[in-house]
Amino acid sequence: MTQSYLSKTKELQDKRLKYVPKGVSNGNLNIASSAKGATILDIDHNEYIDFAGAIGTLNVGHSHKKVTEAVKEQVDKFLHPGFNVMMYQGYISLAEKLCEISPGSFDKQAIFFNSGAEAVENAIKVSRRFTGRQAVVSFVRGYHGRTNLTMGMTSKVKPYKLGFGPFAPEIYQAPFPYLYRKPSEMSDEAYIDHVIEEFKDFFIATVAPETVACVVMEPVQGEGGFVIPPKRFVQAVSEFCKEHGIVFVADEIQTGFCRTGKLFAIEHFDVVPDLMTVSKSLAAGLPLSGIVGRADILNVADPGELGGTYAGNPVACAAALAVIDIVKEENLSAKAEILGQKIEDKLYELYAKHEYVGEIRRLGAMVAVEIVENRENKKPNKAKTAEIIKKANENGLLLLSAGLKGNIIRFLAPLVITDEELAKGLAILEKSFI
């Protein structure tokens, strides 16, 4: 570590404070210089094992060779003719591929945007046009983005909503089960029945189903704390939507591309959504999102009504086509299950040692640990969570929190992580649980 590197870090940290608004948070204050697989180096040559994966963007890891080659090849051809000015093959091929690999045997189409929030907004646009209805239903603890419409659909007032209103009208948040926090005297089955009943009552007490264009659900809640709904609940929601002509949208932005051990998380629930929003790991770090699903819904808008200047950028499409090859070639679904199990095993070792480890839950490699005061009172322990994450960062492990009460640690490590990287990461994790 040389003095000049150290002062460069400090200089950039100071400039960041001066020139970049504090509204963008930073989990780690060091300056990245290179990254590969599940490892990032900073400009002072410190190494970080990445269990955050740019918030679920890097299922195929940092700078996968196949992705960078596809990107370079595309960069040498052209950067962006603008799909609505002159078409290019990458967009069309990616639409075809997504239609092939997504659930559902009906006629499908796919359309691309830049961010997750933009995909969710556009899923709402087409659902509204298709149904002729206005209302949108999301779920308590859900997260769908930071634009005005998606903020309205999102829970967690602070930091996502406070002072940023007014929000768009006709957005309603329905109940969503949270088994760890069910009343202790209720059995799991009775609790699930109860929440299904509450969900149905919501359409009596809060919004009439015949006014609802779409229900947007994360198959596993991401920012909400990796809350995995019971299969029966997801199926009840899907059936309710069918019965009432409501478009069922699965927001797979954080859960997609093998994170949960299946290509898409909704496949765990034996439910076929009408539309699916995708982003994050779709393009391995390049800004790209999309909607894939029923052609009769997506094709409802007329020319010019959908799209955007950069939507479906060819470089991002090239990366996404490479990602879709990689997930198959490297069997990332199976890898997710193995990785998730290894993280779970380590967490159970920590559970045995620390009374503040409340619950460990996972679907594939979407693993979370809930930190509480003690197992008896289950009180969310945000301070301890922050302490663990801070310690991990100081020791070279990038970790993220989640949950309405900030007391959940979530694991979004690249699915291609090597045994060596994983062992290093888990050792730091263990040291951080003090």
Ligand X SMILES: Cc1ncc(COP(=O)(O)O)c(C=O)c1O
Residues that bind ligand X (CB under 6 A): 55, 115-117, 120, 143-145, 218, 222-223, 251, 253-254, 279
User: Could you tell me which of 371, 369, 368 has the C-alpha nearest to residue 380?
Assistant: 371
- CA 77 to CA 73: how far, in whole Å? 7
d(CA 368, CA 362): 6
Q: State the number of CA atoms in the 13 A half-sphere of 195 facing the CB.
A: 26
Of 156 and 346, the one with the shorter C-beta distance to ligand X is: 156
Minimum distance of ligand X from residue 144's CB (angstroms): 5
| Closer CB to ligand X, 39 or 221, in the complex | 221
314: tokens are: 């060819």
Q: Is 10 exposed, middle or buried (0-12, 13-18, 19+ CB in 10 A)?
A: exposed
Dist CA 144 CA 123 (whole Å) = 12
Cα 34 off chain centre by: 24
405: left (phi over 0), alpha (psi -120 to 50) or beta: alpha
Question: Which residues, at least 6 apart from 406, have a Cβ–Cβ distance to it below 8 Å?
Answer: 380, 382, 385, 386
- Write the single-letter amino acid at 117: A
Closest residue to ligand X, Cβ-based?
116
Nearer of residues 90 and 145 to ligand X, judged by Cβ: 145
Q: How far is the CB of 224 from ligand X (least distance, A)?
A: 9
CB nearer to ligand X: pick between 116 and 209: 116
Question: How near is the Cβ of 38 to ligand X at its closest, in Å?
Answer: 20
> CA nearest 373: which of 361, 383, 388?
383
Backbone angles phi, psi at 248, to 5 degrees: -100, 115
Closest separation between CB of residue 249 and ligand X, Å?
11
Angle at 269 between CA 58 and CA 219, to 5 degrees: 45
Kindly tell me which of 286 and 369 has the beta carbon lying closer to ligand X.
286
State CA 8 to chain mean position distance: 33
Q: Give 67 or 253: the residue with its C-beta nearer to ligand X.
A: 253
Phi, psi for 400 (deg, rounded to 5): -125, 150
Residue 277 CB, shortest distance to ligand X, in Å, is 7
Q: How far is the CB of 1 from ligand X (least distance, A)?
A: 34
Comparing CB distances to ligand X, the nearer of 253 and 417 is 253
Cβ 310 to ligand X, closest distance in Å? 13
Name the minimum Å distance from CB 145 to ligand X: 4
Structure-block tokens of residue 376: 């008896």
What secondary structure letter does DSSP report for 430? H
d(CA 372, CA 62): 33
Residue 115 vs 127, nearer CB to ligand X: 115
Q: What tokens were used for 251?
A: 């927001």
- State which residue, 225 or 380, has the beta carbon closest to ligand X: 225
C-beta of 123 vs 321, nearer to ligand X? 123
Which H or E run contains 363? strand 357-363
Shortest separation between residue 419's beta carbon and ligand X, angstroms: 28
CB of 428 to ligand X, least distance (A): 24
Q: Kindly state the smallest distance separating residue 400's Cβ from ligand X, in Å.
A: 11
Nearest to 319 by CA among 297, 288, 293: 288
Residues 6+ apart with CB under 8 A from 35: 41, 50, 62, 63
> Closest CB to ligand X among 248 and 351?
248
